[in-house]
Amino acid sequence: MHRVPFFSQRPVLVAFSTLCLVGAYACSASTTSKFGGKSTANAAGGAGGEGGAIETSTEAGLDLAAGSGGDTGNENLCNSGENDDADKDGFTPKDGDCNDCDPNVNPNAVEVIGSSDGQGGAGGYVPSDENCDGKADEAPAACDAALAVDSKDAMDEARAIGLCKQSKGPKDWGVIAAEWTNLDQGLPPPGPNYALGHGILPAFGPNVKVQEGMTMLALSSGTARQPKDIALGYQPVSGFSKGYSTPQPKGQFPKEAKTCPFASTGAAHDGASVTMKIRTPSNAQGFRFNFNFFTYEWPSFVCSTFNDFFVAMLDPVPMGLVDGNISFDKNGDPVSVNNAFLEVCGCFSGPPCTAGGKQFTCPLGNAGLVGTGFGADLGGSDHASSGWLETQAPVLPNSEITLQFAVSDSGDGVLDSSVLVDNFRWIAEPGTTVATNTVPDPK
């Protein structure tokens, strides 16, 4: 395809003070998002827009990977007085702490779900009541079955990945705020095209399934829709530009893959991002989520200026990282058209397929591209995706974190890339490190 960069000028910061309503988009009098950034003009000079609304969600528990639990019943094993806090977890027996000996057991903990024979089998695991609600290992409630594909509520995007619970205060874990943002976490550009980059999908084609619940989050530098969603705004990922430029994510971006030492990434375009502020449970040591990155830039623009990105930015920045991006490929490079996890692909003469001077063996075949807009089934040739990956990262218990998911075009706004995000879980075990690994597709 012939490429024509749509915009070349830098983003311009624009302040505005009036209260307005444009279509379905309310514009706030503030120029600052909940996450500290400012609104950014699009390349045509428009003013910044608004972030996602916040509303209270139905409370739902979340899985943790199996770790050590607490008491199996609501009794105070330390015989603390009702106003004592023997384990220094911020909760007294009067507050509902059912085991004042264990700081991992209190009303701000989350259930650790494991499997055992009930007698200490399966590695000694015994079902426990970490959150002191009188139930041991209760299954988490789902909250994403009735979400609209084109929801304008950023809290729905948290629900779509499995983050159902909204925090009610400093001693209650959950999502504090969720907002659509620009790549730098400021307010996004105005207008309906930005909203097309956000979607909540029950599947992506016939072969890419959700990882938990009923839906998953989709972000796209094109339209976060399936090809069958024409009535909801789907546009082919082969050539749709939303017509705005975006700043780069916070930190040292853009970054080139070490396997493309002579590439020079272009300016960011058509970014889509959601940013969530989250209060961690008292027994959380980390979290995990799954993602699947699709790009139309493969194979023609590997190691070129047109290097589309997906980033997952965590604040506070984990030790050893320079900018908070916690999703990498197997070489430690950012997830982009040049990442080493592009294993769902195909070509007319192979695999192996040659792109950007490199060979791709496409070990996962091309079935995961069917019905997504990135496959040859809708015309042309196959492009590529990573297949499902899992990122994990450490957190401190009883703390606040900011987690951002974002995708963008580079160099221009055509030949789009998309990402699916799902299956957020807390981790109970200490020693969690930042890592991204492959995971099997759900059956």
Is residue 15 situated within a structural domain? Answer: no
In this predicted structure, what is the pLDDT of residue 417?
Answer: 93
Measured distance CA(236)–CA(377) in Å, rounded:
13
- Identify the domain containing residue 120 by its residue range: 64-139
In this predicted structure, what is the pLDDT of residue 34?
Answer: 57
In this predicted structure, what is the pLDDT of residue 439?
Answer: 86
Contacts of 53 (CB under 8 A, 6+ apart): 152, 153, 154, 155
The pLDDT mean for the chain works out to 79
Whether residues 104 and 215 fall in one domain = no
Report the number of distinct structural domains present in the chain.
2
**pLDDT 10s digits, 364-376:** 999 999 999 999 9
> Longest Cα pair distance anywhere in the chain, in angstroms?
75
Whether residues 205 and 287 fall in one domain = yes
**pLDDT 10s digits, 239-249:** 889 988 888 88
Q: How many helices (H) and strands (E) does the chain have?
A: 3, 20
Whether residues 46 and 170 fall in one domain = yes
Q: Identify which has the larger pLDDT, 407 or 28.
A: 407
Measured distance CA(323)–CA(252) in Å, rounded:
6
Whether residues 115 and 36 fall in one domain = no
- Provide the CB-side half-sphere exposure for 150 (13 A, CA): 15
- Lowest mean pLDDT: which of 78-82, 253-257, 361-365, 431-435? 253-257
Q: For residue 397, what pLDDT band results from cuts at 50, 70 and 90? A: very high
Measured distance CA(53)–CA(43) in Å, rounded:
25
**pLDDT 10s digits, 126-181:** 788 999 999 988 887 889 999 999 999 999 999 999 999 999 999 999 999 999 99
Which domain-ending residue is among 108, 139, 170?
139
Assign 3-class secondary structure to 330-389: CCCCEEECCCCCCCEECCCCCCCEEECCEEECCCCCCHHHCCCCCCHHHCCCCCEECCCE
Contacts of 67 (CB under 8 A, 6+ apart): 112, 283, 285, 427, 428, 429
In this predicted structure, what is the pLDDT of residue 17?
Answer: 28
Is residue 407 situated within a structural domain? Answer: yes
Whether residues 211 and 165 fall in one domain = yes
Nearest to 312 by CA among 393, 384, 372: 393
In this predicted structure, what is the pLDDT of residue 353?
Answer: 87
Q: Identify which has the larger pLDDT, 69 or 278.
A: 278
**pLDDT 10s digits, 196-253:** 999 999 999 999 999 999 999 999 999 999 999 999 999 999 988 998 888 888 776 7
Whether residues 245 and 372 fall in one domain = yes
Is residue 14 situated within a structural domain? Answer: no
Using an 8 Å Cβ cutoff, are 364 and 387 in contact?
Answer: yes
Please determine, for residue 343, whether its predicted confidence score (pLDDT) is greater than 70. Answer: yes
Q: How many residues does the chain have?
A: 443
Whether residues 225 and 367 fall in one domain = yes
- Provide the CB-side half-sphere exposure for 230 (13 A, CA): 1
In this predicted structure, what is the pLDDT of residue 52?
Answer: 26
Q: Identify which has the larger pLDDT, 89 or 24.
A: 89
Q: Spell 394-426 as b/e; 16+ CB within 10 A means b.
A: bbebbeebbbbbbbbbbbbbbbbbbbbbbbbbb
Whether residues 38 and 81 fall in one domain = no
